[in-house]
Structure 1
Amino acid sequence: MPQLHVADQHWSVAPNTNLLDALNQVGVSVPYSCRAGSCHACLVRCVRGEPADLKPEALSRDQHEQGWRLACQCQIVEDLQIEAFDPLRDGVPAQVAGLDWLSPTVLRLRLTPQRALRYRAGQHLVLWAGDVARPYSLSSLPEEDRFLEFHLDCAHPGEFVDAARQFKVGDVVRLGELRGGALRYDPDWQEQPLWLLASGTGLGPLYGVLREALRQDHQGPIRLVHVARDKAEHYLQSELLALSAACPGFVIEYLERPQLPDYLLQMGVVSRQTRALVCGHPDTVDAFAKRLFLAGLPRNQLLADAFLTRS
């Protein structure tokens, strides 16, 4: 049977065993969130040997050449020596610059990284609090903000959000991998209708995309819909109102979750040129996507990012 080596430990595993399972079963703590190759929290580096990678396209060529793999997508087929991602060694330090509550359950976290990061609106970044990691979408805009901003849904307990509740300004958080994500703004869309459909903290990255669209002088109409648990959870209202006042073609709609089914029934696509970006809870993302497809929106004109439900 193949031997798996980590630091000074080594043990036999059955062929084709999932690498993430093999590590966590013996107490080697490798964080994960989605087990689908999306969140990139379970990065490990292969020092010797090669696993069967079921999703090689999830990482860049440079990352592959450096030995990085996503443990959740790898099967052990031969002797393998790996190093787990070490946030102290491999992560970028960032200082907590701001903490405030945008709603009863949404915590805004602002970080100042030790070195500048190149990113675009809509991307994800893995945050480490000690040995706890969680991917979060960026809500900030690199051209306008001097900090990295994240909106954390703290409605339910979770290792990272529990740690985040204890953060203080000046504390240090480690930054893991920056990844693309599905959301973006393309300057070629400038004349087209732009729909931004968010649920919960899915508003965060879409707020960044919205600001990027306005920064690039988007000329088509913009429609933003925010679905929340209740009225108290509709956050960023003053910021969005200010943007709509400066952009007459920008319309904002607020829905509570029980209102969503009726809203979807009357929802239609005005133009087949519409670009739709959907972000938030998987159920809401799926509901919006299905309705838009039924209404005639071409599939390649919808970008969707469903937030992971594991905390």
Structure 2
Amino acid sequence: MAQWMTGEVIENHAWNNELFSLRVRVPKPFEFIAGQFVRLGLHTEEQRIQRAYSLVNGPDDPILDFLVNRVHDGDFSPRLHDLRAGQSIEVSQPPSGFFTLNEVPEGESLWLIATGTGIGPYLSMLTTTIPYERFARIHLIHAVRYEADLAYQQQILDWVAAHPGQLHYQPVVSREDATGALRGRIPSLIVDGKLEAALGDELNENAQVMLCGNPDMIRDAKQVLADKGLPKNLRRKPGNVTVEHYW
């Protein structure tokens, strides 16, 4: 059964009007595996309201980091959007989830494909040494609607510079043209070969793919990857595609 601890908001960083990073200090060390999630909770007059969010920070970082998109008609994210430094928030423990690299079989390349806030678990993974030790080539693909939704750009570019020739970053923007970004949806970019061409690599039997984000993207991407001979990864039957349904 989940336990709750009270954390303090250190920063609420706005990437744009709707997308923000909530950074929280908790009173004791918080152990987790990169890729896992917790629940954040706030008390109303009647009850605690809560929702699951992946940890964006690395396991060695004492400040917990959560990437959140405000849903205007939602019960919870607008409340998070309004939090400011010094205010309290509850964090569940222990962390949960199996969307972690120790669930991913061996391969030559690792494709980390996300839409929106689904990039969070990958950022946590990339703070660790694990992906760089296990895979010769790592491709981080982040698909968003607008260029302003491409969060953590400088951190990602710093990692790319620190791992030349090994870590590659490919933004995808669906609703406007953006410098350096592909335009369109992930499944279509896989079908027409544009994603592979942009990254100079092949989605073949030596590739391991992780999908996190919009369920429509995951459903369609799983199908086009299966058509390319990359089946879903299951514990009872290892494959090439590991999935996290992010909402």
Structure 1 length-normalised TM: 0.65
Q: Does 1:192 align with 2:108?
A: yes
Higher normalized contact order (CA 8 Å, seq sep 6+, divided by chain length): 2
1:98 and 1:109 in contact (8 A); partners too: yes
Matched residues, percent identical?
22
1:244, distance to aligned residue in structure 2 (A): 0.8
Tell me the distance in 1 between the aligned counterparts of 2:82 and 2:15. Answer: 17
1:263 corresponds to 2:189: yes
CA distance 1:231–1:216, change in 2 (3 Å)? closer
1:157 paired to 2:73: yes
Q: 1:213 to 1:193 in 2, by over 3 A?
A: farther
- Contact 2:210/2:242 (8 A) holds in 1: yes
1:76-122 per-residue CA deviation (whole Å, 9 max, x = no partner) reads xxxxxxxxxxxxxx521111112101234211011111222211111
Say what the alpha-carbon RMSD is for the aligned residues.
Answer: 2.3
Unaligned runs of 5+ residues in structure 1 are 1-62, 69-89
Q: 1:215 to 1:272 in 2, by over 3 A?
A: closer
Q: Pick closer, same or farther for the CA change 1:106–1:213 going to 2, 3 Å.
A: farther
Task: Tell me the CA shift for residue 146 of structure 1.
Answer: 1.4
Number of the residue aligned with 1:275: 208
1:126–1:178 CA contact under 8 A, matched in 2: no
> Amino acid of the residue matched to residue 193 of structure 1?
S
Unaligned runs of 5+ in 2: 176-183, 197-201, 234-239
> In 1, Cα distance between the equivalents of 2:72 and 2:224?
29
Deviates most, 263-272 or 222-231: 263-272
For residues 239 and 93 of structure 1, the distance between their equivalents in structure 2, rounded to whole angstroms, comes to: 28
Aligned match of 1:292? 225
Separation (CA, whole Å) in 2 of partners of 1:294 and 1:212:
32
Any conservation in 1 of the 2:125–2:131 contact (CA below 8 Å)? no
1:163 to partner: Cα distance: 1.1
- 2:245 corresponds to: 306
Question: Once the two structures are superposed, what CA deviation does each residue of 1:212-265 show, in whole Å capped at 9, x if it has no partner?
Answer: 256753441011111101111111111111111111221111112361153132
